């Protein structure tokens, strides 16, 4: 008999089953469990009970599993989750900060069925009698740094606003997946606590590909709510590093007044700066050169 015990927030607390095994036989059981909460979860305990087929003798042994499972943030569609703050309108406005540079469009090619429908170029499709899509030239000269903030208030000793932070983490995932789909190199920085770094936070340089995206999504799943440093200090450090990014996307639960000056300073150092906030307080106080979005659930 096998008993496996799962951590809190899983859909089952214990999975138990019995089986009969012959000598030198190996049995593999596959089943599905799910977690209701993002984060690092540990499966530590299982109990194995062995006995003969007659039932005269049995032995019970507890096994330390020490297995880690990282649950990723919830998946969302970015265009359906954020709205521009200001006079912008229409679905294209949500993507303006990605593809608004006409120099990035290098031509038109035939639609293969794999491209997003939003890239279909309808005038060319009518002209050629078949679906045509825009062809973009996103090279390493066009790269993005996504900056995630997990701080919501000062002082930090107040109760943690978990739901607010989780929405920001989910939005960050949506932004990363959007750039991966567009083949634009992207990196990630966050002030979330990193126990494996001397700097106590995370910084990933720009990259592309399934492996790069997987590593960043794993980080978004792994991070917790401990904040080792104020977000404005993270912003100032990034400003001092002066990377070769053409766009910086800041994703934050809310804008605090102490963020205004370092965000405006950073916006002067890169060609394009985008701010996405779950709550829109102080969002409109950022400089006019900053593209601003708020979470649609505020409607």
pLDDT per residue as tens digits for the range 19-72: 888 888 888 888 888 888 898 888 888 898 888 766 677 888 888 888 888 899
pLDDT at 243 over 70: yes
Predicted local confidence at residue 171, as pLDDT: 96
Predicted local confidence at residue 98, as pLDDT: 52
pLDDT at 259 over 90: yes
| Mean pLDDT, rounded, for 81-101 | 59
pLDDT at 151 over 80: yes
Domains of the chain: 2-71 (no CATH), 78-103+139-298 (3.40.50)
pLDDT in tens, 212-228: 999 999 999 998 888 87
| Mean pLDDT, rounded, for 76-89 | 78
- Judge whether 170 and 73 are in contact, CB under 8 Å: yes
- The pLDDT-based confidence of 80 (bands split at 50, 70, 90) is confident
- The pLDDT-based confidence of 197 (bands split at 50, 70, 90) is low
pLDDT in tens, 177-190: 999 988 889 999 99
pTM metric for this prediction: 0.77
Tokens of 64: 């330390």
pLDDT in tens, 260-271: 999 999 999 888
| Mean pLDDT, rounded, for 115-122 | 75
CA distance 95 to 79: 8
- The pLDDT-based confidence of 85 (bands split at 50, 70, 90) is confident
| Mean pLDDT, rounded, for 229-234 | 91
């Amino acid at each position: 008999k096998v008993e496996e015990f799962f951590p809190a927030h899983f859909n089952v607390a214990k999975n138990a089953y019995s089986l009969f095994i012959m000598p030198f036989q190996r049995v593999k059981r596959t089943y599905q469990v799910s977690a209701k909460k993002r984060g690092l979860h540990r499966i530590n305990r299982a109990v194995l009970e062995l006995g003969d087929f007659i039932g005269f003798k049995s032995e019970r042994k507890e096994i330390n599993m020490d297995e880690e499972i990282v649950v990723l943030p919830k998946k969302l569609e970015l265009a359906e989750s954020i709205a521009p703050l200001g006079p912008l309108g229409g679905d294209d406005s949500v993507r303006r900060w990605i593809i608004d540079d006409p120099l990035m469009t290098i031509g038109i090619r035939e639609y293969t069925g794999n491209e997003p429908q939003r890239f279909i170029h309808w005038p060319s499709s009518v002209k050629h009698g078949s679906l045509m899509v825009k062809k973009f030239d996103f090279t390493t000269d066009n790269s993005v740094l996504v900056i995630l903030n997990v701080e919501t208030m000062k002082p930090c000793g107040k109760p943690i606003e978990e739901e607010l932070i989780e929405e920001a983490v989910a939005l960050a995932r949506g932004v990363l997946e959007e750039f991966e789909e567009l083949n634009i190199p992207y990196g990630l920085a966050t002030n979330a606590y990193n126990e494996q770094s001397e700097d106590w936070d995370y910084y990933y340089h720009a990259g592309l590909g399934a492996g790069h995206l997987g590593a960043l999504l794993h980080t978004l799943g792994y991070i917790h709510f401990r904040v080792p440093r104020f977000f404005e200090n993270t912003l100032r450090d990034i400003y001092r590093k002066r990377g070769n990014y053409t766009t910086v996307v800041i994703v934050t639960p809310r804008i605090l007044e102490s963020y205004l000056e370092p965000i405006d300073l950073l916006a002067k150092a890169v060609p394009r700066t985008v701010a996405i906030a779950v709550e829109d307080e102080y969002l409109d106080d950022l400089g006019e050169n900053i593209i601003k979005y708020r979470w649609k659930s505020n409607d």
